Structure 1
Amino acid sequence: MTTSASSPAIQAPFGDPPRTAALRQRLEAFMAEHVEPNEGQVEAESAAQSWHSAAGWNTPPTVQRLKALAREQGLWNLFLPHSARAPEGLSNYEYAPLCEIMGRNTWASEIFNCSAPDTGNMETLDRYGSELQKDRWLEPLLAGEIRSAFLMTEPEVASSDATNIRCRIERDGDHYVINGRKWWSSGAGRRQCRLLIVMGKTDPDAPRHQQQSMVLVPADTPGVKMLRPLKVFGYDHAPVGHMEVLLENVRVPVDHLLLGEGRGFEIAQGRLGPGRIHHCMRSIGAAERAFALMCRRLATRDAFGKALAEQGVWHERIAQARCMIEQARLLTLKAAWMMDTVGNKAAQAEIAMIKIVAPSMACQVLDWAIQAHGGAGVSEDFPLAYTYADQRTLRFADGPDEVHRQALARLELARLGLRRKPAGPPVTRGC
């Protein structure tokens, strides 16, 4: 079912930047003409695929057709700022309203080559890769010719603390040998996936944040085994595919290492910052669409002698939802502006705040929208249940709420000069 969430609220609050204004109009038109009418077709093409009957999932033909059309219209690679290889890329603040529009639909961002995990991987290659690595991997990713996956999370450890990872990357002459098990490796289940960016430990004895490294692994390297796709609230997320992956004695040349040994944690921090804000932008778009669906449903359903939209409890929820969406949007735009003007490190508090606020806000608005639809809300006749599953996942993807709250609290205490020095070793008194 299609429902446009277009409204003045989607615009940047103080006026769109010049590049954004024209692109937003074109993007809105593209969504209305090509994306919304094809939602049912893409869902059918995705559902018709089976992981067990082929070597991975394929991009739905309709999505592939729309990608070519979007590229022809110049709606392509809008996410990547300051890249010589993608001059069409926008700043974070310029991109924010556009990413929100894409977020109304769970697969729309792929059409514009602006979907995770490829966006984060392309930013990683652009910022940290060698020129040879960029030639081999970044260029075909920017062209939409291949897809990629990011392998960081592991089933055997609490991966919210990335220093816990156990996957080993060991030097053996002119090669690195990789052994480990990863999961929630989004994108690895696609047939078009050609590159895995793997995070593992090269030196377990180094200082805590210098033990990890990242290495580029061609997806067809011997020893890479896709064990299974992982469902999310019962949805298999075809054709993206969140995979469990086994790496057994996987050998890659040493020039496949990113940046240098011990730089993995540094790369991860640089990669996840922009990715987090992109997720939050899309969360706002998802909330806007849910809000529009909710209001339309309430206005067209009667109970106890009057429209649901006239019931007091729904007045309260409509008003609260609008306030929550606007608050999240303003905070996200502020974070995007700070990332552009003072850098990701200086904006780390704002990035933490939006990652806490936006997915939780979207979950609440979606929950109210589901409630307004009754049984229809949990069915597949509306996009609400699937979108709720997607947004609920974001409360721990790219760092759980608890980690971001802890980081934000520490930053605030330090800003106020209230951080205590670490206590010394415990003193044991003799008896």
Structure 2
Amino acid sequence: MDFAFDARTEELRERLLAFMEEYVHPAEPVAAEQRARLASPWDTPAVFGELKAEARRQGLWNLFFVDQHGLPGAGNGGGPGAGLTNLQYAPLAEITGRSPHLAPAATNCAAPDTGNMELLAQFGSEEQKKQWLEPLLEGEIRSAFAMTEPEVASSDATNVETRIERVGDEYVVTGRKWFISGAMNPDCKVFIVMGKTDPEGADPRRQQSMILVPRDTPGVEVRRAMTVYGYEDHDHGGHAEVVFDGVRVPAANLIGEEGGGFAIAQARLGPGRIHHCMRLIGMAERAIELMCRRAVERTAFGKPLAAQGVVQNWIADARVTVEQLRLLVLKTAWLMDTVGNRGAHTEIQAIKIATPRAVVRILDDAVQLHGAGGVSQDFPLAELWAAARTLRLADGPDEVHQRSLARRELRQYM
């Protein structure tokens, strides 16, 4: 593995950094002001449209879309993505992580749409791609991924109880989901729903299927927004409780084959996990920057905070941690490019365990250094902390990845 970024990556990094400095960071207070004046907190502030138009104009659009799956025009400037590898995308995602509520959405690289687009590109039918993937790639609509349920331990996907039952030329979807990211956004037009088509099947990993459910289908009820440590995450479209009450959709809405849902979920989550970790490093970098600025500007007990030994330790430890995490993420991205997601299985789990845990600690130190300001709305640290802490649960809790990783390590000795 070459540690240097190639010329294409360096070019995009320079352009993206300039875009962040000139457009994204100045738009943060603007977005907050506009949202305060909206009729609904879930409506999208006008500045998002301006950012998206500028990102498209500058060619900073769909940078995440690594595997083009033969889509026409891919990677040549006229297609849906930039044609980058995971290794090329990693440092770009890190940059957008410095403003995680604006930059990913502005560049059409925000979850859960990214995972849903990859899923449809890999497993969707031509009709499904035409109806849903193309407008998602154009940024015309948003989407949601409905798997987690309140009544079962959803970290084990075999526990999912939502039913997807074949009735003639339709499927009937019945179940209750929650923490469905993006579902509160009015632009969310479709759900990818995980449920069981064969609840009595012998193989518990062949009981689940995935199906497309348009938001406006009768029986779909977006019941309420779920807060995350008190935050509603407006810019990502919230995290909703959604009820599917006898929802009927055409049989053609099934993604792949019956019983393929578990395998599709695993394929979807690999890239999603590394994207989160890439952005988390950017969040940590912003925390370090805020710590350093605060440390040189404030005085306590007769000397600058920057001269306090404990503050120096926090900053030094944060820098060492970020450099370690970045190398592990880059190695994982490189392995995904060279040996595939399955070959990078151990590393994907390792970064998912290590990155959120370590970044939460860095953000916690940054909050402490800012005192009362650190837990307030005047700095981004509290909201960044909530987002990072949540990622110790999202895409699988730490303990699930630790269990799987330990089993893989032990297997060679058994």
Partner of 1:228: 224
Deviation at 1:39, TM superposition (A): 0.7
Q: 1:354 to 1:78 in 2, by over 3 A?
A: same
Q: CA RMSD in A?
A: 1.3
CA distance in 1, matches of 2:294, 2:335: 38
CA distance in 2, matches of 1:35, 1:310: 32
Q: Aligned partner of 1:102: which letter? A: T
Give TM-score scaled by structure 2 length: 0.95
Q: Aligned partner of 1:305: which letter? A: G
CA distance in 1, matches of 2:60, 2:124: 25
1:32 maps to 2:18: no
Partner of 2:47: 62
Q: Is contact 1:224-1:247 (8 Å) kept?
A: yes
Partner of 1:123: 118
- Once the two structures are overlaid, the 10-residue window that deviates more, 42-51 or 65-74, is 42-51
1:160 maps to 2:145: no
Q: Is contact 1:205-1:211 (8 Å) kept?
A: yes
Deviation at 1:15, TM superposition (A): 1.4
CA distance in 1, matches of 2:39, 2:153: 31
Q: 1:399 aligned to 375, 380, 396, which one?
A: 396
Q: 1:291 to 1:265 in 2, by over 3 A?
A: same
State the secondary structure of the residue aligned to 1:345.
Answer: helix
Deviation at 1:418, TM superposition (A): 2.1
User: CA-to-partner distance for each residue in 1:294-324, whole Å, 9 max, x for gaps?
Assistant: 0110111111111111111112111111111
Partner of 2:308: 311
1:102 maps to 2:87: no
Q: 2:144 aligned to 145, 149, 152, which one?
A: 149
Partner of 2:406: 409
1:283 maps to 2:307: no
1:16 maps to 2:1: no
CA distance in 1, matches of 2:377, 2:341: 39
CA distance in 2, matches of 1:26, 1:38: 17
CA distance in 1, matches of 2:157, 2:396: 10
CA distance in 2, matches of 1:44, 1:347: 43
Deviation at 1:373, TM superposition (A): 0.5
Partner of 1:337: 334
Deviation at 1:82, TM superposition (A): 2.5
Q: 1:90 aligned to 84, 93, 109, which one?
A: 84
Q: Is contact 1:120-1:272 (8 Å) kept?
A: yes
State the secondary structure of the residue aligned to 1:153.
Answer: coil
- Once the two structures are overlaid, the 10-residue window that deviates more, 370-379 or 76-85, is 76-85
Q: Aligned partner of 1:34: which letter? A: Y
Deviation at 1:413, TM superposition (A): 1.1
Partner of 1:180: 175
Partner of 1:171: 166
CA distance in 2, matches of 1:306, 1:192: 51
User: CA-to-partner distance for each residue in 1:35-81, whole Å, 9 max, x for gaps?
Assistant: 11111011222344465xxxx82221101111011111100011011
Q: 1:211 aligned to 177, 194, 207, which one?
A: 207
Q: Aligned partner of 2:15: which letter? A: R
Deviation at 1:227, TM superposition (A): 0.4
State the secondary structure of the residue aligned to 2:340.
Answer: coil
State the secondary structure of the residue aligned to 1:194.
Answer: strand
CA distance in 2, matches of 1:323, 1:50: 45
Partner of 1:249: 246
Partner of 1:356: 353
Q: Aligned partner of 1:250: which letter? A: V
Higher radius of gyration, 1 or 2: 1
- Once the two structures are overlaid, the 10-residue window that deviates more, 336-345 or 300-309, is 300-309
Q: Aligned partner of 2:29: which letter? A: G
Q: Aligned partner of 1:134: which letter? A: K
Partner of 1:327: 324
Q: Is contact 1:47-1:238 (8 Å) kept?
A: no
Q: 1:182 to 1:398 in 2, by over 3 A?
A: same
User: CA-to-partner distance for each residue in 1:62-111, whole Å, 9 max, x for gaps?
Assistant: 01111011111100011011313342231110000000000001221100
Contiguous gaps of at least 5 residues in structure 2:
76-81
- Once the two structures are overlaid, the 10-residue window that deviates more, 193-202 or 35-44, is 35-44
State the secondary structure of the residue aligned to 2:216.
Answer: coil
Q: Aligned partner of 1:26: which letter? A: R
- Once the two structures are overlaid, the 10-residue window that deviates more, 296-305 or 124-133, is 296-305
User: CA-to-partner distance for each residue in 1:221-277, whole Å, 9 max, x for gaps?
Assistant: 000001000111111111411000000010111110011000000000000000000
CA distance in 2, matches of 1:163, 1:17: 42
Partner of 1:366: 363
CA distance in 2, matches of 1:262, 1:352: 25
Contiguous gaps of at least 5 residues in structure 1:
1-11, 420-431
Q: 1:47 to 1:386 in 2, by over 3 A?
A: farther
State the secondary structure of the residue aligned to 1:215.
Answer: strand
CA distance in 1, matches of 2:193, 2:39: 26
Q: Is contact 1:105-1:286 (8 Å) kept?
A: yes
CA distance in 2, matches of 1:13, 1:359: 25
CA distance in 2, matches of 1:379, 1:241: 20
Partner of 2:79: none
CA distance in 2, matches of 1:227, 1:201: 22
Pairs within 5 Å for 1:420-431? none
Runs of 4+ deviating beyond 6 Å: none
The number of equivalent residue pairs is 402
Partner of 2:78: none
